[in-house]
Amino acid sequence: MKSKIWISISVVTVLYACSLTDLEPVIPNEKDIVNNIRNVDDLQGIANGIYDRMTVTTYYGRNQIIHGEVRADNCFANGRSGRFMNEAAMKVSPDASNGPWDAMYAVIASCNIVIGQDPAKLTGDQQKIKQVMGQAYIARALAHFDLLKLYGQQHTGGNLGIPYIKEYVSGLTAPARNTIDENRTAIFEDIETGLALMTEVNNPKTKQQVSTFTGQALKARVALYFKEWEKAKTASLAVINSGKFLIVDSANYVTSWKTKNNINSIFELAFSSSDNLGINGLQNIYRGSQYGDIEVLDNLLTVFDEKDVRKSAAMIGYETVSGVKRLRNLGKYPSADFSDNVVLFRIEEQYLILAEAKLELGEPDPLEYLNKIPAKRGAELYSSATKENILKERRRELCFEGFRFDDLVRTGSNIPLVDPVKQTHGGPAYGSYNLAFPIPRVELNVNSNMVQNKGY
């Protein structure tokens, strides 16, 4: 058996149709994919496949988001269908940790097909070709960043990250893990390369493809995670000062979660009713009488002001299931036909990144940016911009979107144990080995250069 990394970038690589709303796969010979890209439309078709691969259940179709909630203090797994019990307990086995690994490296494989093309050999507008390649560089950075956050040792006392794969390779290869610093450098280099290839005037018309603003938003998020405050400030300001994205107000907040290409969306993944993930989608994992494995911890309600629209019954409310009242995320990803797009970057996050960066830099106006969000949510304004208040506002604004675990560990915090019965992870201290997922056993078995995370 080949290394899982290389399986996912070899013969299973798929060429997708160009439509973002009806991505039906066409599976040609592998050689045809790599060698028969002739023009900008072919290239964009492969790029559309990148986005389609991001929507699978084991990536942004569900797991990436849920992992950030059940391993923290927003949600817990109730065991109704047995899903996410191990993740919630932070007892993931190396025999069951390959889903996200495979999904993210599959995205990277598609990115590398695009990046590996010679623009001079492709027909069509050369700037548009560069624009598509820029999309691939930024998507590659995002996938590696997400892999690093899940499998890297940056919060467990080690220095190993994940293999950073920069080219499409067909065949058996045994990549070693790069260091965390090498990963960080490579992620920023990919973002900068992508931005250098792209121009704002050639940005896509849809928010369902990567734009220059997606690149800046990702740079701001990565810089925040690694505490590069000046870089986080500059990148978030580039998005905010563009004037192209607006914070959704209180009156439209609830319906905004059903609106595609909304005013606050920077980049979102396309879903439609025909992309039905069924019992494996976000809708059925967060709510419903048949499944609804992920419930909300009561503690989350205590962080909201009473008139905050984010606490309203349309957003966080109770469902009665088999005579038991269960507190649910009702407002985010709400549509029963699974047609809600999944927004990966929105402007509200950028304001909160800017507020935190300015606080850390000792600049005089972080409170101005922090209060932009509660002012639009019917909540009380903060009297001071402190780290505690910024993290509180991030918890309120970004709950159920997968940010909470990363916010805790990037600030060196222990995982709060607010309900020792419902939370089965026991509240691990910062530095615990189980803050990182184990490297999949199938990868270790076939790759002599791969090293397991400590504790597994």
pLDDT tens track for 53-70: 999 999 999 999 999 999
What is the pLDDT at residue 339? 82
CA distances from 138 to 240, 264, 266, 306 (A): 19, 20, 14, 40
pLDDT tens track for 215-234: 999 999 999 999 999 999 99
Nearest to 263 by CA among 276, 271, 253, 273: 253
Q: pTM to 2 decimals?
A: 0.94
Q: How confident is the model at residue 303 (pLDDT cuts 50, 70, 90)?
A: very high
Q: How confident is the model at residue 7 (pLDDT cuts 50, 70, 90)?
A: very low
Q: How confident is the model at residue 204 (pLDDT cuts 50, 70, 90)?
A: very high
Hey, is 296 helix, strand or coil? strand
- At 70, the amino acid letter reads V
Residue 262 has pLDDT above 60, yes or no: yes
- What percent of the chain is modeled with pLDDT above 90? 85
What are the residue boundaries of the structural domains of the chain, listed by start? Answer: 1-202
CATH top class, domain 1-202: mainly alpha
Residue with token string 């002599």 = 448
Q: How confident is the model at residue 6 (pLDDT cuts 50, 70, 90)?
A: very low
Between 23 and 39, the higher pLDDT residue: 39
Beta bridge partner(s), residue 76: 295
What is the pLDDT at residue 5? 57
Residue 3 has pLDDT above 70, yes or no: no
Nearest to 350 by CA among 242, 269, 237, 249: 237
Q: How confident is the model at residue 411 (pLDDT cuts 50, 70, 90)?
A: very high
What is the residue-averaged pLDDT of the chain? 92
CB 55 within 8 A of CB 61: yes
